[in-house]
Amino acid sequence: MAGRLCTVERNPLFSLEDRTAVDKAESSFALDRIRLRFADHAFEQAFRREHARQSVRIIRMALVVGAVVYAVFATLDFLIAKEHYRTLWLIRFGIVIPAIIAIAFTYSQKFQNYGQLMLACAMVMAGAGVVAMTAILPPELSTIYYVGLILVLVYCSTLIRLSYPAVCAISLILVGSYEVVALAINPVAAAVLISNTYFLISSAIVAILIAYLSEYYIRANYRYTCMLLTEKARSEELMLEAQAASRAKTEFLANMSHELRTPLNAIIGFSEVMREEMFGPLGSKRYQIYAEDIFQSGSFLLQIIDDILNISKAEVGTLSLHETDFDLARMIDQCLRLFRDQAASAGLRLRLEAAPPDIVVHGDERLLRQALTNILSNALKFTQRGGAITIAVGRSPRTGIAISVADTGTGIAREEIEHVTQPFVQLENPYTREHAGTGLGLALAKRTMEWHNGQLRLESKPGVGTTVTLQLPPERVVVLDPPVRQGAGSG
């Protein structure tokens, strides 16, 4: 039931079908505040069944308590109405209490549908017993016993959990019955009748008000609970749809990456043949330059496709690590060699803070090299001429290995740090728009560290620079030899 009714915030992006569903849901949840009924019949029936189910234990307890209280007042019959106590006890124990304690029907399946009617009848019997007592007792005693009607009204509106319409009906029946007895069957003095009527009607109004407020808040709570459950179900459904769309997108990217790599490898291979002039000179020098451009552009495009392929495999869970033991210092040196000339031409200082320790690491060397390469590439992209990029390697038996790359570039605002490690995210500012890229570098580096049970930490401050640290856990260290050899790196 909750799954088909919902209420959601109006949004200009909703389709007409969505808005129609929202309007229908809101009208179904609508509550008539006079009659305290839900507009949707099925929703109303569901509420009654659920309310009966949740209230049944309290109702059983209240019936037992009511029967006990009704029986305790038998002592009053014996003390102040000795001449009539047998008749009073017959009413009390022979008719009313059996009606009150007939709780067996609460164990019936029909209680959910007819419980309110049956409880209302039991309460009418309890009040009618009091009215009958006032009818047979002398006027001086009947004016005392009428107080029992006030107790019945309070009991109906609080403990027994009768509905607001039922309490209204019971109040009218009991007040009217007493007025008939007090006026025609067993008349009492006018002053006493006025006083009793005043207090009795006031008690009935209070009982009705309590019943109204109690049921209103119970219904409102049920309504809001169903709305929350419905919205949760809707959100989960939308989330599943979004996940399915994301998987479809990921599978498409993976397939396309495979398809693109085949012709691209041919382009790169033939351009390399032409660049190296393996089958003779090309003729014009310009052709060789063009071949070099084709090779470089193809290699750059292949790297982008590889990044997309790795991200796609990771998202669908098909990426597997090819783990081997490799020398960390050698891997770092290979990465630095790739960027030394590029850094020099850009007017940047690229240096290794200290010679890396002699460490053998167990992991996927290709992915880890790619992660470090992506970080170094970002550092070069976003560091202005005259800046510096520093690589440092630290080790600890407790935390493992930390490879940090610190630059003096543009930096990243604190609120943007979390976003830059998401795939395809690039921060928009005048400087970053000068550089090409897919926004996959940091995302891939982060995923790579996670696949190795490590982590990527990013610290940055706009205008000061950024430090990215790749942390590998201790269990990834195969050989942890002597401490770090201090020495100046090369830039």
- The Cβ of residue 75 has, within 10 Å, a number of other Cβ atoms equal to 10
Neighbour-count burial of 79, counting CB atoms closer than 10 A to its CB (0-12 exposed, 13-18 middle, 19+ buried): exposed
Longest dimension (CA), the chain: 136
Rounded to the nearest 10 degrees, the angle between the axes of helix 441-451 and helix 365-381 is: 150
Q: Out of 30-39, 255-264, 287-296, 450-459, pick the least confident.
A: 255-264
Is 7 in contact with 26 (CB distance < 8 Å)?
Answer: yes
Q: Is 440 helix (H, G, I), strand (E, B) or coil?
A: coil
- How confident is the model over 15-27, as pLDDT tens digits? 444 445 445 555 6
Q: Which tokens sit at 171? A: 């109040």
φ and ψ of 261, to 5 deg: -65, -35
Alpha-carbon 187 to chain mean position:
66
Would you call 463 helix, strand, or coil by DSSP? coil
Q: Is the pLDDT of residue 128 over 90?
A: yes
Task: Say which residues have a Cβ less than 8 Å from residue 306's Cβ, sequence separation at least 6.
Answer: 257, 261, 370
> Which of 99-113, 176-190, 428-442 is least confident?
428-442
Please say whether the beta carbons of 480 and 490 come within 8 A.
Answer: no
| Percent residues over pLDDT 70 in the chain | 82
Task: Provide the CATH topology of domain 324-480.
Answer: Heat Shock Protein 90 (3.30.565)
236-250, 258-272, 332-346: which is most confident = 332-346
Highest mean pLDDT among 99-108, 170-179, 228-237: 170-179
Which pLDDT score, from 0 to 100, does residue 208 have? Answer: 94
CA torsion through residues 167, 125, 199, 89, sign: negative
Mapped onto helix, strand or coil, the DSSP state of residue 404 is strand
> DSSP strand E in 266-368: where?
324-327, 349-352, 359-363
Tokens linked to 389: 């990029």
Q: Say if residue 428's pLDDT is above 70.
A: no
What's the rounded Cα separation, in Å, for the pair 92 and 70?
Answer: 7
Domain coordinates in residue numbering, the chain: 2-237, 243-316, 324-480
The answer to whether residue 414 scores a pLDDT higher than 70 is yes
72 pLDDT higher than 60: yes
Distance spanning both ends of the chain, measured CA to CA = 69
Confidence of residue 28 (pLDDT cuts 50, 70, 90): low
Q: Is the pLDDT of residue 373 over 70?
A: yes
pLDDT of the residue at 433? 41
Query: Residues 6 or more apart from 309 whose CB is under 8 A from it?
Result: 253, 254, 257, 258, 261
Q: CB count, 10 Å around CB of 49?
A: 14
419 Cβ neighbours under 8 A, 6+ residues apart: 425, 427
Q: What is the mean pLDDT of residues 455-462?
A: 89
pLDDT by residue (tens digit) across 309-343?
Answer: 666 666 666 667 789 999 998 889 888 888 888 88
Angle, CA 272 vertex, CA 343 and CA 304 arms, to 5°: 55
SS3 379: helix
Give the pLDDT of residue 90.
94
pLDDT above 50: residue 102:
yes
* Residue 443 pLDDT > 90: no
* Per-residue pLDDT at 484 exceeds 50: no
Q: How much is the average pLDDT of 415-437?
A: 57
How many Å apart are CA 411 and CA 165, to the nearest integer?
68
Structure tokens at 218: 């119970």
Q: Do 305 and 261 touch, CB atoms closer than 8 A?
A: yes
Q: Which residues pair with 324 in a beta bridge?
A: 363
